Chain A
Amino acid sequence: MSTVWVLAVSLAYLALLFVVAYVGDRRAARGHSLINSPWTYALSLGVYCTAWTYFGSVGRAASGGLWFLPIYLGPTMAMVLGWLVLRKIVRIAKVQRITSIADFIASRYGKSRLLAVSVTLIAIVGVVPYIALQLKGVSAAYGLLTSPGVVERAAQVPWSRDGAFYLALVLAGFTMIFGARHLDTTERHEGMVAAIAFESVVKLAAFLAVGVFVTYGLFDGFSDIFARARAQPELRALLRLEQGAAFAWPQWFTMTVLAMLAVVMLPRQFQIMVVENVHESHLRRASWVFPAYLLAINVFVLPIALGGLLYFSGQATNPDNFVLSLPLAAGQQALALFVFVGGLSAATGMVIVESIAISIMVSNELVLPLLLRWRTALGGGLPDLTRILLNIRRITILLLLLLGYVYFHVASEAYALVSIGLISFAAVAQFAPAALIGMYWRAGTRLGALGGLMAGFGIWVYTLMLPSIAKSGWMGDAFVREGPGGLAWLKPEALLGLTGLDALTHSLFWSLLLNVSVYVALSLAREPSARETSQALMFVDAGRVGGGTTPVFWRGEARVEDLRQLCVRFFGAERAQAMFDEYAARWGTAAASVADARFVSFIETKLAGAVGGASARVLVSSVAKEESLTTDDVLRMLEEASQLRAYSRALEDKSRSLEEATARLREANEQLKSLDVLKDEFMSSVTHELRTPLTSIRALAELMLDDPKMRPEQRQPFIAIVVAEAERLSRLVNQVLDLAKIEAGRAEWHDATVDMRALVLQTVEVTRELLREHGCAIELTLPEPDARPAPMVRADPDKLQQVMLNLLSNAVKFVPPQAGLVQLALRVGEGELTLSVTDNGPGVADEDQAAAFDKFRQVGDPRQRRQGTGLGLPISRQIVEHYGGRIGVRSRLGQGATFHFTLPLLEIEET
């Protein structure tokens, strides 16, 4: 393929990225953020997949089978805990305006500058080879594309002819434009993140394209590749763990842990995951979308590796290049070019974010503190710090890429892609104890963190870095083989005679062990200072505080005018004013001429967003007269804050209980109102029911009064009616009184053990006269006298008899004259007994059944309405329910009705 064509496409692609980033920044400026979406966030995390993934995974799979997997299983495990751990980091970072991993660790331990510097230097040492790896990946791919078959060693190419050199320059330019354009109080780069998310899509699409091509174009699907591979013994072994030797489980475990830590601790990952995070809720979706992305990009790794080994069987080829050499060998130029663009995406994405992250660390943690010190030494002010800061970042980006290029130029031949990447991983894993333990353990101190970091990094250099340099041939490897000065127990790859582990596992074991041990031991050895304590509290409690009341740990005096000048110098007059306005709007007061602790803390946090925590601390202390805090002060301030928090919580609680009380009152009021309505209805019903017999008594009495000569035989029936109506009146009054007593809970219940069988017989005896009058037969169904369990209940026998009388007289009222049949059944069931009274009257319509037990409701045909008060059934219901039973009616029109009730059986011990 022609060089010009490849270069043109590459530049066009970079220009496209440029456009995406530009649009992203423009949209952000107008408030329509492109990256305020969990999907964009999840995709931008795909920056984890670098050229190493893109080319190296296949290479690794071609030599070791499944060994490419732990690098992606680790991040998956990390994201399982993402919602618990990463969210806390994000929360802390937002509150404290953290700008980098160095800032994060330094801020935890009292904004220590020494710690910030250490982390920054370790990050640079660890990351430069990794950047070199990207340049190597792209330049190898470029070489393969433009001059296939020519193996030109990078070291033999002069830099002026070397594509990788120009690539480094182009990337540096691109990164400078989008990573270091303006200072921000949140240190976010929306355009860059949009471009990274875009790149993630491109590299996934390209890798899937080549995967599908190899699997279905060159071969006949997965089954075909795997079947053919299994036919060859050496390829068949790649599909197994134990490839002829015992499988290295410790290394498998180590690599998973390493990748799990690296996915958070790598400077570029921390930048994208934490600093560029727009909203912590985006973590929710990202925590599964990102692992899913990793899975998708790995599905075709094994088929491509095996496919390449099968396709180029017998030829000398580099498996790292299979993704490109396979389409090229098959004559698929366009696909090869697309795959190259995908690889370019993977590499540029990593380089851009990593160098931005490092440049922020260098400017905030290394250079600015030095500048500030000079300034105080010289006594003069520095004009326009913003421009200086941005220039520092630009220079850092350029230097970092050139450093990467130099490393690539002189060292990359020595190692495969994978080893370089793993060495970088192990370096940044040293940040994990100080960062992660410090988030949960208050007692961790600055000294402990520093000591742990130094010890871990020292072991890393000695056991991993130096041996790898020795193996490259730049220094004698005698100390690796025999130990320094012949001391065998100091051999870097077998410390204290620990053998049986590979170099990476060995190094990681010792470095993390020492790192954690020293960290814990030194932390426990000395009391933390006040500032360390205050920052430790802020970190450890971050999850719980959740935006509520946070204590302010500061004491001293500062002039507002001085703080204003400080802000103007970093943000310009306009944005400084906006910050002051924001403060006034939030707290309702413009700052007075002397700033209080809250205001100073506000300004310091804003500055921290631009220059990092440690530098912001220096800046503020340079304009303020600070009094040194003691641990007692911190405790007192904490107490004040927690009191404040307690007050506000108590206030909240009070208002909540007030609300609840209001709701309850409102409910009670509603109930009262409806009871009032019921009472009115009841009264009108009662008076109506009273008036009917009264009217009839009065009419008859007047009739007899008007006609004193009425004959006795004529007068007799009238008097009988008057007596019956008067009886009905007194019955009604009694029942109303009964009901009122029961409802008010004032009824007298004379509970006794009642044998229902006997009570039923007795009741039937009482009604026998009534039944006979109506010509009505009765059928009884009762349990046998010696039945078990016996139909015994605990209740007031008089009241129960009243219920049964009500039901019986009710039934008698409705049966047809002279042909009536009433069936009474008493049945004993599981734990309760049921009594039912069935008549052969007209029945009760479905819609009336529920109303049958309402007061004064006499259901059924009004013309057939017999004498009754309408209170019998409601009273019965009250009585039955008082004893924990249920009462109801079953009926079909024209087929009679069955009234039934249940009562809980009395449990009688068998004697």
Chain B
Amino acid sequence: MANIKLSERLLGLFVLGWLLLNFPLFSIWDKDALVFGWPLLPAAAFAIWLFLIVVLAVLMEKGGHEAPETPGTTERSMLPEP
């Protein structure tokens, strides 16, 4: 259940990322202005980028780890369990 929710959130974030970083929303920032000494456009690009990463980090880290990290799992067989 939690997994379904996570995948839906990730898809939502994906759509949001595309919207924010492409035409026409991204062109909103194309102005001759400064924020904290940065020109608005590069500042906005990095801010949106960072925002996506932070949301992604929160989504991925709070989900917990469902399986113990054992190298043995790489030896999993394609065959049916008895």
- Indicate whether A and B interact: yes
Q: Does A668 contact B (CB under 8 A)?
A: no
Residues of B within 8 Å of A740, CB to CB, are none
Q: Does A734 contact B (CB under 8 A)?
A: no
Q: Please judge, given known A-B contacts A80-B56, A227-B37, A256-B22, whether A601 and B71 are in contact too, CB under 8 Å.
A: no
Instruction: Name A76's contact: one of B17, B22, B70 (CB within 8 Å).
Output: B17
Residues of B within 8 Å of A242, CB to CB, are 30
Residue contact B61 to A548, C-beta cutoff 8 Å = no
Residue contact B56 to A281, C-beta cutoff 8 Å = no
Q: Does A474 contact B (CB under 8 A)?
A: no
Report B38-50 CB contacts with A as 1/0, cut-off 8 Å.
1101100110011
Q: Please judge, given known A-B contacts A253-B22, A292-B53, A601-B79, whether A36 and B41 are in contact too, CB under 8 Å.
A: no
Query: How big is chain A's contact interface, by range?
Result: 35 or more
CA distance A292 to B39 in the complex (A): 22
Residues of B within 8 Å of A555, CB to CB, are none
Report A410-422 CB contacts with B as 1/0, cut-off 8 Å.
0000000000000
Instruction: Name A84's contact: one of B10, B27, B42, B76 (CB within 8 Å).
Output: B10
Q: Does B78 contact A (CB under 8 A)?
A: yes
Residue contact B17 to A284, C-beta cutoff 8 Å = no
Residue contact A641 to B80, C-beta cutoff 8 Å = yes
CA distance A548 to B81 in the complex (A): 7
Q: What is the minimal beta-carbon distance from A103 to any residue of chain B, in angstroms?
A: 15
Instruction: Name B49's contact: one of A73, A285, A287 (CB within 8 Å).
Output: A73
Residue contact B65 to A288, C-beta cutoff 8 Å = no
Q: Does A694 contact B (CB under 8 A)?
A: no
Q: Which of A218-226, A393-401, A431-439, A569-577 contacts B (4 or more CB under 8 A)?
A: A218-226
Residues of B within 8 Å of A278, CB to CB, are 69, 71, 74
CA distance A291 to B34 in the complex (A): 26
- B3 to A, closest residue via Cβ: A83
CA distance A94 to B72 in the complex (A): 11
CA distance A867 to B20 in the complex (A): 81
Q: Does A538 contact B (CB under 8 A)?
A: yes
Residue contact A186 to B74, C-beta cutoff 8 Å = yes
Q: Does A602 contact B (CB under 8 A)?
A: yes
Report A247-288 CB contacts with B as 1/0, cut-off 8 Å.
101001100100000000000000000000011011011011
Q: Does A66 contact B (CB under 8 A)?
A: yes
CA distance A227 to B36 in the complex (A): 11
Q: What is the minimal beta-carbon distance from A788 to any residue of chain B, in angstroms?
A: 49
- B22 to A, closest residue via Cβ: A253
Q: What is the minimal beta-carbon distance from A706 to any residue of chain B, in angstroms?
A: 81
Residue contact A239 to B39, C-beta cutoff 8 Å = yes
CA distance A675 to B30 in the complex (A): 76
CA distance A538 to B79 in the complex (A): 12
- Between A and B, how many residue pairs show CB distances below 8 Å? 153
CA distance A582 to B77 in the complex (A): 11
Residues of B within 8 Å of A594, CB to CB, are none
Residue contact B79 to A73, C-beta cutoff 8 Å = no
CA distance A302 to B79 in the complex (A): 53
Residues of B within 8 Å of A188, CB to CB, are 74
CA distance A36 to B68 in the complex (A): 12
Report A531-558 CB contacts with B as 1/0, cut-off 8 Å.
0000000100000000111111000000
Residue contact A291 to B53, C-beta cutoff 8 Å = yes
Residue contact B23 to A587, C-beta cutoff 8 Å = no
Residues of A within 8 Å of B7, CB to CB, are 83-84
Instruction: Name B38's contact: one of A83, A186, A226 (CB within 8 Å).
Output: A226
Report A599-618 CB contacts with B as 1/0, cut-off 8 Å.
00110010000000000000
Instruction: Name A284's contact: one of B45, B49, B60, B71 (CB within 8 Å).
Output: B60
Q: What is the minimal beta-carbon distance from B39 to any residue of chain A, in angstroms?
A: 4
Q: Does A625 contact B (CB under 8 A)?
A: no
CA distance A230 to B31 in the complex (A): 13
Q: Does A295 contact B (CB under 8 A)?
A: yes
Residues of A within 8 Å of B65, CB to CB, are 281, 284
Residue contact A36 to B60, C-beta cutoff 8 Å = no
Residue contact A279 to B81, C-beta cutoff 8 Å = no
Instruction: Name B6's contact: one of A66, A83, A247, A292 (CB within 8 Å).
Output: A83
Residues of B within 8 Å of A80, CB to CB, are 10, 13-14, 17, 52, 56
Q: Please judge, given known A-B contacts A73-B49, A252-B22, whether A587 and B82 are in contact too, CB under 8 Å.
A: yes
Residues of B within 8 Å of A406, CB to CB, are none
CA distance A94 to B78 in the complex (A): 9
CA distance A221 to B13 in the complex (A): 33
Q: Does A33 contact B (CB under 8 A)?
A: yes
Residues of A within 8 Å of B14, CB to CB, are 77, 80-81
Residues of B within 8 Å of A548, CB to CB, are 80-81
Instruction: Name A66's contact: one of B22, B42, B57 (CB within 8 Å).
Output: B42
Q: What is the minimal beta-carbon distance from B76 to any residue of chain A, in angstroms?
A: 6
Residue contact A33 to B71, C-beta cutoff 8 Å = yes
Residues of B within 8 Å of A76, CB to CB, are 17, 49, 52-53
Q: Please judge, given known A-B contacts A242-B30, A285-B61, A641-B80, whether A291 and B41 are in contact too, CB under 8 Å.
A: no
- B13 to A, closest residue via Cβ: A80
Residue contact B22 to A226, C-beta cutoff 8 Å = no
Q: Does B2 contact A (CB under 8 A)?
A: no
Q: What is the minimal beta-carbon distance from B64 to any residue of chain A, in angstroms?
A: 9
CA distance A234 to B22 in the complex (A): 24
Instruction: Name A299's contact: one of B36, B46, B75 (CB within 8 Å).
Output: B46
CA distance A229 to B60 in the complex (A): 39
Residue contact B27 to A241, C-beta cutoff 8 Å = yes
A221-B37, A278-B71 are known contacts; what are 18 more A-B pairs with Cβ within 8 Å? A33-B71, A77-B18, A79-B56, A80-B13, A81-B14, A95-B78, A223-B37, A240-B30, A241-B27, A249-B23, A256-B22, A279-B67, A288-B60, A302-B42, A548-B80, A552-B79, A587-B82, A644-B80
Q: Which 10 A-B pairs have the closest CB atoms?
A: A223-B37, A288-B57, A239-B39, A249-B23, A549-B80, A288-B56, A241-B30, A95-B78, A80-B14, A284-B60
Between-chain CB contacts (< 8 Å), 8 pairs? A36-B71, A76-B52, A80-B14, A81-B10, A241-B26, A281-B69, A291-B52, A549-B80
